[in-house]
Amino acid sequence: MLTALLLAITVEHRVLLPAPLAPAVNDPFVVFFRTGDATVTTESRQILDNFVRAVRNDRTLGITILGHADRAEGPLHVTLPLSERRAAAVRRYLLSAGIPVRIVHARAMGTAFPITRSPNVVNQYVSIAIDL
């Protein structure tokens, strides 16, 4: 199921196409995680690398990382820390790729903002938005 979700995201977010223009990166980038896990996957690294290439040269941007979890992963005392670990994992990845620490902010959202209300889609993701 994870692969199908990533393919859908590639189609929906035009900024993931090769050589995105920096002004067009105000759409969020989204990466998914396996159930109960906060490890950045190989598929997610490709999306994050595209993101880094798109914003690398603009140090005036702010980057907001929002970690999310699915209600199926447990109660709030489980999902909120899990979403925090997911956001932190993406933040570490971006910092290790050279994005300045001062422009990267991460927040845990728990189950508050599902990507969809469909029972067939898992809401185990991190969204990354550009603050222009």
Q: Is residue 17 part of a domain?
A: no
Residue of higher predicted confidence among 4 and 56: 56
Residue 32 CA from chain centroid, whole number: 7
- Of 12-21, 56-65, 102-111, 122-131, the one with minimum mean pLDDT is 12-21
Residue 46 lies in a domain: yes
Q: Which domain holds residue 115?
A: 2-11+26-131
Token digits of residue 111? 């189950």
pTM metric for this prediction: 0.74
16 domain-assigned: no
The half-sphere exposure of 119 on its side-chain side, counting CA atoms within 13 A, is 0
Predicted pLDDT of residue 120:
59
Task: Indicate which CATH number applies to the domain containing 75.
Answer: 3.30.1330.60
Share of the chain above pLDDT 90, in %: 31
